[in-house]
Chains A and B, each alone.
Chain A
Amino acid sequence: MTQRIATRGAIAVVSALLVAVSLAGCARGTADGQSARTPTTTTTTAAPAGAGESGSSLSDIQNDLNSADSATSNADGDVADADQSAATNDSP
Chain B
Amino acid sequence: MNRIVSTTLLGTATVVVLVAGACAPAFADGTSTPAPSTGKTLAAIQANAKVKTSARIGALNTAIAKVTAAKDISSSDRAIILGTLNHDLAGMNSVEAKIASDTTVASAASDYKTIFTGYRVYAVAVPQARLAGAADRMTSTSVPRLTDAQSKLAKALAGPDASKSTPALQADLTDMSAQIAAATSALDGVSARALAVTPDDYNANHTVLASVRSAVKTAIADLKKASSDGKTVLAAIK
- A residues sitting closer than 8 Å to B (CB atoms) are 48-53, 57-58, 60-62, 64-65, 67-72, 74-76, 78-79, 81-92
Alpha-carbon distance A57/B161, docked complex (angstroms) = 12
Q: Indicate if the CB atoms of A88 and B30 lie closer than 8 Å.
A: yes
* B120 surroundings in chain A (CB, below 8 A): 90
Q: Mostly helix, strand, loop or mixed at chain B's interface?
A: helix
Query: From B129, which residue of chain A is reached at the shortest CB distance?
Result: A82
The total of chain B residues at the interface (CB under 8 A) is 59
* Cβ proximity bits B198-238 to A, threshold 8 Å, 1 near / 0 not: 00000000000100010011011001101100110010011
Chain A positions within 8 Å of B140 at CB level? 71
Which of B's residues lie within 8 Å of A, judged by CB?
27-30, 38, 59, 66, 70, 72, 112-113, 115-117, 120-123, 126-128, 130-131, 133-135, 137-138, 140-143, 145-146, 148-149, 152-153, 155-156, 159-161, 164, 209, 213, 216-217, 219-220, 223-224, 226-227, 230-231, 234, 237-238
Quick one: which of B121, B123, B138, B153 contacts A72, CB cutoff 8 A?
Answer: B138
Q: Are A62 and B234 in contact (CB under 8 A)?
A: yes
- CB-CB nearest in chain B for A64: B149
A88, chain B: closest CB distance, angstroms: 4
A55 to B149, CA, bound (A): 15
Q: A72 to chain B: which residues have CB within 8 Å?
A: 137-138, 142, 220, 223-224, 227
